[in-house]
């Protein structure tokens, strides 16, 4: 009897691997019947890491989205699954234990059946508690092996890791080949080894198409006993995304596997609706290069899920770098030149920081460190001259045990800066916080939400949730989208185009100035959020482009005008590329003015404070 292989549609990851944002809830609910009608999917990835955070960024409540989006699949008997970052929950940074426990209760209540738990370090200390919490909440706990290719990450390494997770109670195992660089034959051997240990364990394979291995890998893992394969649909298949369901289904059918048929009329309807979502607004955040496969990705091993945001971020980094080069009479770089420099530096940096699997958040950390090195070296500065605190946390072991040793030059640098390497359970560094967030909600008159889901959202994504509640998130998004639409429809040379547009958010009008060509466009402004007046003293400038925050979490006290500071003190942070980069005082003094609001976008060298 032919072995059956089932299919999952990774709808969340289709978008995350393409660009910056996810569809609105009305778009999700509209496409769900067509996905169901396709008849080939036993599972759909509806939410998880990235999904909820980006919804907040454009002003939509993700709790409403998850509840409405999962409902039609349940009614059709299709399982829903989500992506879960273990110690980090749904975000880039580690979570307290009480938040992790609440996480699974909320997601189960909202309609998510399966949680795909992963740790980029493959540290069982991070994954095993999540297996326990998920099962206690009634979810199916799928433990992931984060796949990469290095001298450390062997077939034996992965089979032993799977055994550890199974013994800890994992219901299923996922081979999470997030960069698509797992070699096909080796992947088959990993599946074979796991099945030899526990034949009835469900194995799901997830791979990205970018480097070009994925179809061969899918065939190899299925021959070895894989049960479920993740797929996508056009126009968001291939490229930095996933193999298209049509090609996978036909390949496996030809190989003799039992697979479900595809209702092609419904496939075309899904395809049409996805394109309409792109045309509406999502396509403005999908770089053209992300539609292409690129075997250059084999060397740096960067994951498909990160490439969506990377190419968008790279546009801003390139503008910032070229602005400096023009100012200093140096030739500008092209996107391709910067990309190759970045890929080469990632390959250099990765072994130096102990071979963390390049998946969120560690892929961003390694990429950001590499990009900072490139940017600094292009400006004649030293490599390693800017390392964000959360990257240091990874290097020092506060996020878990690195697979390999850290380079001596970084060990020496840590010692010079008074930083210590850690060996404790990572959870021990992050004490419970839910009571603090509950007090904040009571103070603001905010509802805790059904099943405490609003409390969960604030605790999981504090800054984004506050910006969502205030309306700032929606205002910033509408302003950015207006600029992107104007730039795409820019007038021909010599013709006049609109100089500004006005967007209304929660009754407040925001005027968005539009610049064409290479000229920068100012951010949206509104009378409701004036900047602080300038005081006396010297400017403290932004060390890079990003969003300015006075604090990175509730454990810190924000600096204010009148505060005395010492040289080296942290004044605030620039959030860039999903990491918080500390702004430190060059000298002792007193803060006489804070020139930008927390959450405002700033460019490199913009004055943000006055220090006298």
The predicted pLDDT at position 503 comes to 53
Tokens read off for 198: 């526990």
The predicted pLDDT at position 497 comes to 56
**pLDDT grade, residue 494 (50/70/90)?**
low
Q: Which of 334, 292, 296, 301 is nearest to 317 (CA)?
A: 334
What CA–CA distance (Å, rounded) separates 89 from 45? 16
Distances in Å between the Cα of 577 and the Cα atoms of 115, 309, 549, 602 are 26, 8, 14, 13
Strand 607-611 vs strand 228-231: parallel, antiparallel, or unpaired?
unpaired
> Where is average pLDDT lowest: 281-285, 319-323, 561-565?
319-323
What CA–CA distance (Å, rounded) separates 59 from 466? 10
CB under 8 Å, gap of 24 or more: what pairs does 312-317 form?
312/19, 312/20, 312/285, 312/287, 313/576, 313/577, 314/338, 314/339, 314/342, 315/287, 316/545, 317/371, 317/375, 317/545
The predicted pLDDT at position 295 comes to 79
Q: Cα 11 to the chain's mean position, in Å? A: 15
What CA–CA distance (Å, rounded) separates 414 from 393? 11
Q: What is the 3-state secondary structure (H, E, C) of 5-41?
A: CEEEECHHHHHHCCCCCCCCHHHHHHHHHHHHHCCCE
Ordered alpha helix ranges (H), 328-424: 335-352, 362-378, 389-396, 408-416
Average pLDDT over residues 372-385: 90
> Is the alpha carbon torsion for 594, 595, 600, 605 positive or negative?
negative
Tokens read off for 6: 């089932």
Q: What is the 3-state secondary structure (H, E, C) of 36-85?
A: HHCCCEEEEEEEECCHHHHHHHCCCCHHHHHHHHHHHHHHCCCEEEEEEC
What CA–CA distance (Å, rounded) separates 555 from 574? 17
> Where is average pLDDT lowest: 380-384, 419-423, 521-525?
521-525
Query: pLDDT tens, 395-453?
Result: 999 999 999 999 999 999 999 999 999 989 999 999 999 999 999 999 999 999 999 99
- Please indicate whether residue 383 or residue 319 has the higher confidence score (pLDDT): 383
- Please indicate whether residue 573 or residue 492 has the higher confidence score (pLDDT): 573
> Where is average pLDDT lowest: 58-62, 361-365, 426-430, 541-545?
541-545
**pLDDT grade, residue 59 (50/70/90)?**
confident
Question: Is 583 in a helix, a strand, or coil?
Answer: strand
Indicate whether 346 pLDDT > 70. Answer: yes
The predicted pLDDT at position 20 comes to 83
548 beta partners: 574
- Listing DSSP states for 352-365 in one string gives HTT---SSTTHHHH
Do 259 and 5 contact (CB within 8 A), yes or no?
yes
Task: Identify the burial level of 151 via C-beta atoms within 10 angstroms of its C-beta, where 0-12 means exposed, 13-18 middle and 19 or more buried.
Answer: exposed
Strand 172-177 vs strand 202-207: parallel, antiparallel, or unpaired?
parallel
What CA–CA distance (Å, rounded) separates 469 from 341? 40
Indicate whether 517 pLDDT > 50. Answer: no
Do 580 and 544 contact (CB within 8 A), yes or no?
no
Question: CB under 8 Å to 227, separation ≥6 — which residues?
Answer: 4, 5, 6, 202, 203, 204
The predicted pLDDT at position 37 comes to 98
Query: pLDDT tens, 304-319?
Result: 656 656 666 677 788 8
**Which superfamily, per CATH, for 6-291?**
Aldolase class I (3.20.20.70)
Q: Which of 217, 192, 213, 189 is nearest to 205 (CA)?
A: 217
Q: Which of 554, 549, 557 is nearest to 578 (CA)?
A: 549
Indicate whether 533 pLDDT > 50. Answer: no
177 beta partners: 207
Supply φ then ψ for residue 364, to 5 degrees: -65, -40
Q: Mean pLDDT score of the chain, rounded to an integer?
A: 88
Indicate whether 558 pLDDT > 60. Answer: yes
Percent of the chain with pLDDT over 70: 90
Taking the alpha carbons at both ends of the chain, their separation in whole angstroms is: 80
What CA–CA distance (Å, rounded) separates 387 from 451? 39
Q: Which one of 381-395, 488-502, 508-522 scores highest in mean pLDDT?
A: 381-395
Fold of 538-611: OB fold (Dihydrolipoamide Acetyltransferase, E2P) (2.40.50)
Q: Examine domains 6-291 and 538-611 and report if their fold is the same.
A: no
> Where is average pLDDT lowest: 2-11, 105-114, 193-202, 365-374?
365-374
Average pLDDT over residues 188-206: 98
Average pLDDT over residues 564-576: 87
Query: pLDDT tens, 238-280?
Result: 998 999 999 999 999 999 999 999 999 999 999 999 999 999 9
Do 50 and 86 contact (CB within 8 A), yes or no?
no
Average pLDDT over residues 40-48: 97
Indicate whether 519 pLDDT > 80. Answer: no
In the chain, domain spans: 6-291, 538-611
Do 260 and 5 contact (CB within 8 A), yes or no?
no
The predicted pLDDT at position 312 comes to 66
Percent of the chain with pLDDT over 90: 62
503 beta partners: 510
What CA–CA distance (Å, rounded) separates 11 from 51? 10
- What does the buried/exposed string (b/e) look like for 486-499 if buried means 16 or more CB atoms within 10 Å of the residue's CB? beeeeeeeeeeeee
The predicted pLDDT at position 501 comes to 55
């Amino acid at each position: 009897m032919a072995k059956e292989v089932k299919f999952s549609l990774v709808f969340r990851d289709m978008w995350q691997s393409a660009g910056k944002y996810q569809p609105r809830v009305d778009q999700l609910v509209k496409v769900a019947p067509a996905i169901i009608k396709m008849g080939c999917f036993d599972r759909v990835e509806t939410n998880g890491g990235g999904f909820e955070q980006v919804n907040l960024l454009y002003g939509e409540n993700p709790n409403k989205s998850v509840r409405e989006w999962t409902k039609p699949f349940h009614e059709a008997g299709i399982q829903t699954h989500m992506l879960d970052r273990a110690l980090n929950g749904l975000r880039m940074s580690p979570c307290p234990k009480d938040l992790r426990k609440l996480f699974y209760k909320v997601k189960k209540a909202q309609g998510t059946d399966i949680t795909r738990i992963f740790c980029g370090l493959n540290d069982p200390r991070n994954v095993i508690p999540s297996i326990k919490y998920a099962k206690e909440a009634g979810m199916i706990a799928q433990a992931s092996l984060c796949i990469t290719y290095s001298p450390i990450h062997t077939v034996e390494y992965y089979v032993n890791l799977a055994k550890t997770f199974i013994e800890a109670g994992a219901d299923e195992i996922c081979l999470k080949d997030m960069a698509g660089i797992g070699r096909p034959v080796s992947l088959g051997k990993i599946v074979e080894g796991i099945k030899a240990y526990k034949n009835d364990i469900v194995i799901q394979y997830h791979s990205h198409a970018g480097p070009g291995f994925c179809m061969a890998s899918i065939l190899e893992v299925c021959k070895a006993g894989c049960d479920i394969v993740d797929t996508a649909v056009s126009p968001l298949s291939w490229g930095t995304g996933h193999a298209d369901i049509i090609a996978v289904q036909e390949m496996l059918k030809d190989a003799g596997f039992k697979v479900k048929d595809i209702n092609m009329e419904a496939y075309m309807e899904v395809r049409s609706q996805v394109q309409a979502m792109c045309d509406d607004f999502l396509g403005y955040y999908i770089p053209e290069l992300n539609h292409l496969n690129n075997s250059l990705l084999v060397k740096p091993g960067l994951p498909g899920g990160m490439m969506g945001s990377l190419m968008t971020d790279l546009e801003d980094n390139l503008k910032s770098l070229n602005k400096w080069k023009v100012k200093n009479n140096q030739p500008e770089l092209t996107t391709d030149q910067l990309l190759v420099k970045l890929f080469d530096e990632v390959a250099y940096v990765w072994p130096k920081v102990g071979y963390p699997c390049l998946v969120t958040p560690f892929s961003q950390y390694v990429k950001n460190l590499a990009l900072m090195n490139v940017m600094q070296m292009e400006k004649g500065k030293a490599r390693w001259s800017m390392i964000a605190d959360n990257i240091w946390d990874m290097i020092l072991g506060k996020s878990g045990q690195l697979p390999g040793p850290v380079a001596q030059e970084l060990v020496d640098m840590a010692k010079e800066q008074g930083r210590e390497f850690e060996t404790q359970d990572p959870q021990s560094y992050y004490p419970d916080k839910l009571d603090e967030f509950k007090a904040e909600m009571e103070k603001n008159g905010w509802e805790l939400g059904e099943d405490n889901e609003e409390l969960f959202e604030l605790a999981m994504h504090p800054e984004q949730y506050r910006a969502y509640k205030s309306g700032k998130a929606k205002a910033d998004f509408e302003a950015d989208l207006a600029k992107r639409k104007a730039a795409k429809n820019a007038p021909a040379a010599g013709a006049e185009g609109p100089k500004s547009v006005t967007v209304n958010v929660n009754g407040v009008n925001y005027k968005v100035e539009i610049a064409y060509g290479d000229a920068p466009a100012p951010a949206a402004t509104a009378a409701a959020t004036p900047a602080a007046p300038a005081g006396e003293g010297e400017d403290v400038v932004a060390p890079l482009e990003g969003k300015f925050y006075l604090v990175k979490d509730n454990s810190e006290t924000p600096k204010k005008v009148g505060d005395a500071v010492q040289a080296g003190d942290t004044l605030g942070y620039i959030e860039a590329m999903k990491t918080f980069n500390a702004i430190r005082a060059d000298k002792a003094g007193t803060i006489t003015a804070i020139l930008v609001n927390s959450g405002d976008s700033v460019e490199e060298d913009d004055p943000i404070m006055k220090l006298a």
